[in-house]
Each structure stands twice: as C-alpha cells, then as structure tokens.
Amino acid sequence: MTIPAEALVTGGARGLGEGMAQALAAAGASVMIGDVLTALGRDAAGKLSAGGAKAGFVQLDVTKEADSHAAVEVTLRTLGGFDILVNNAGIEVTALVADIDPADLRRMLDVNIVGTTLGLKHAFRAMRPGGAVVNISSVAATIAFPAIAGYSATKSAVDRLTRVAAMEAGKLGYGVRVNCILTLPPKSVFLAEWFNASKESGNAEGKDDIDEGRTRRPSASPPTPLCSARRSASIRRRATRRPIRVR
Ligand SMILES: NC(=O)c1ccc[n+]([C@@H]2O[C@H](COP(=O)([O-])OP(=O)(O)OC[C@H]3O[C@@H](n4cnc5c(N)ncnc54)[C@H](O)[C@@H]3O)[C@@H](O)[C@H]2O)c1
C-alpha cells in the first residue's frame, strides 16, 4: 500500500507512535513526529530519514494549544502538506477507583482528551480535502478491567469525540475523515488469560468485542493507521489547499 501523503504523528518518539510513524514512512508518507521527548523524537525522525523518508521532529505538548497549532504549521512548512494526523499521544496512570489521585486523573484528561481535541481542531483548520485524522483510543474504552477506570473513561471520551468530529466534518463539508482505533496491548498474555478466565466464569464484560486470538498472538507490526489513511490517499486531490472555515 502506498500513501503519498504528509503525516503528523503525535507521541511518535517511542512506542506505538514510533511504530506507526515507521509504518507510514514505509508506505511512502512523509512524516513529522511531534512529542515532548525531544531527544527520542529527534532520534525517531532521524531513523525515518535514514530509511529514505522525508521526516522531521517538532517539539509538541499536545495539552498546549499553541503547540498544537505550531506543530501543524511546522508540518505544512517542512513536509509541504498535511493529510494525516495520528492523534496518538496518550498517558495511562493505573489506580483502583478507591485510590484514584485527582492529579493523575486530571493529567490523563488533559493529555488524552484535551490533547486529542486540540489535535482535531487544528487538523480541521489546516487539512486539505481528502485528509484523515486517526485517533488512538484503546480497547480499555470498551471493557471493564481493574485499575483502569480513569484511563478507560478518557479513552471512551476519545471514542465519542471521534464520532462527533466525524459527523461535523461530514456535515460541514470539510472533506476530512475521522476514525478511531481501539488499540490492544501488543503483548497481552495477561489480558488474554484474564479474558479466558472471565469467559469461563461468564463475567467478561465486553468479551464479544475482543478477538481473543489477537490478544494471544500479537501482530508482528504495531497497529497502524494505514487502513484508515488509505482512502484519504486514494481520494486526495491535487487541488490547492483550501483553508476550512471553522467558526
Ligand atoms: N501500549 C498499549 O498497550 C496500548 C494499548 C491501547 C492503547 N494505547 C494507546 O496508544 C498510545 C501510545 O501508547 P504507548 O503504549 O506507545 O505509550 P508510550 O508511553 O510508549 O508512548 C506515548 C508517547 O506519547 C508521548 N506523550 C505523552 N504526553 C504527551 C504530551 N503531552 N504531548 C506530546 N506527546 C506526549 C510520550 O512522550 C510518548 O512518546 C496512547 O494513546 C495509548 O493510550 C496503548
């Protein structure tokens, strides 16, 4: 699959974000990595460049509106376009409900919800028709699991945010698609065992949403936004960039 597009991956300095940046670059996209981790982010972008991709790094704290706006501007300037936003930056602080620290909860709300929303906002304002936004949620948005109440709530919010944003983008004619990936932990033997045990006892809430085979056999490659981005690349127009009017 070839994606001749320009992409910004938030939280792309390491982990799944770095994997998705690599997958996009391997598919032919130019990739800007945005992250709070400067050294790791530069390193990740350097690896993409060394592999032949057009790539760069931008310092980005997704919770700050000025940063989100600047990251889009730098992407446009450096890569010459902006077709794909992977809203991947996210944090998880686990705690039983009885032990939740409000400061941790607010940090998750800030990064996972405010950060994702600001990314969408500035993508809608800058993206040309045919663009795509891929929000990284989590399977935690659909299941009950001990100690993830706060995280699960923020990822459920990303799912709802995605639906409303996609509807707005469609109804208001932005020409930008918005999707959400409910990512599974890449190596989740623990999760698979927990599901099997829960299934036997009939207590696995949301078990029908989970492909247990996948939890046992993690994919060799990280979850990628390629499927979500593909259509945008295929319908990408050569039209001049038309700023989308957002009131
Ligand atoms: N790893 C998993 O098992 C898993 C499962 C489901 C969903 N997810 C989701 O996938 C995404 C990536 O997770 P990961 O496991 O690779 O995590 P990770 O901690 O390895 O990477 C997250 C990246 O986001 C960056 N980041 C954090 N706060 C930021 C901010 N304010 N501004 C910009 N960047 C910021 C971090 O510096 C880091 O590079 C997250 O949204 C996470 O919730 C992960």
Q: Which has the higher per-residue pLDDT, 224 or 81?
A: 81
Q: What percent of the chain has pLDDT over 90?
A: 70
* pLDDT value at 2 more than 50: yes
Report how far ligand 1's centroid is from the alpha carbon of 223 (Å).
13
- Reported confidence tier of residue 184, pLDDT bands at 50, 70, 90: confident
* pLDDT value at 174 more than 80: yes
Residue with CA at minimum distance from ligand 1 atom 20: 15
Cβ of 191 below 6 Å from ligand 1 = no
* pLDDT value at 102 more than 60: yes
Cβ of 116 below 6 Å from ligand 1 = no
* pLDDT value at 124 more than 90: yes
* pLDDT value at 218 more than 90: no
The DSSP bridge pattern shows strands 177-183 and 6-10 to be: unpaired
Mean pLDDT of the 228-237 span: 48
Q: Report pLDDT for 18.
A: 98
Q: Report pLDDT for 246.
A: 40
Q: Report pLDDT for 96.
A: 97
Candidate list 82, 124, 151, 195, residue with the active-site label: 151
Q: Report pLDDT for 35.
A: 98
Q: How do residues 219-229 score in pLDDT, each as one tens digit?
A: 334 444 555 55
Q: Which residues contact 81 (CB under 8 A, 6 or more apart)?
A: 5, 6, 30, 128, 241
- The CA distance from 110 to 113, in Å, is 6
Tokens of 189: 């033997």
Q: Report pLDDT for 139.
A: 93
Mean pLDDT of the 118-134 span: 97
Q: How far is CA 154 from CA 55, 163, 191, in A?
A: 30, 15, 20
Residue 151 designated active-site: yes
Residue with CA at minimum distance from ligand 1 atom 17: 15
Q: Report pLDDT for 187.
A: 56
Using alpha carbons, select from 230, 241, 244, 212 the residue that is nearest to residue 4.
230
- Reported confidence tier of residue 185, pLDDT bands at 50, 70, 90: confident
**Whole-number mean pLDDT of the chain?**
84
- Reported confidence tier of residue 145, pLDDT bands at 50, 70, 90: confident
Cβ of 225 below 6 Å from ligand 1 = no
Q: Out of 81-95, 116-130, 176-190, pick the least confident.
A: 176-190
Q: Report pLDDT for 211.
A: 40
Cβ of 37 below 6 Å from ligand 1 = yes
Cβ of 169 below 6 Å from ligand 1 = no
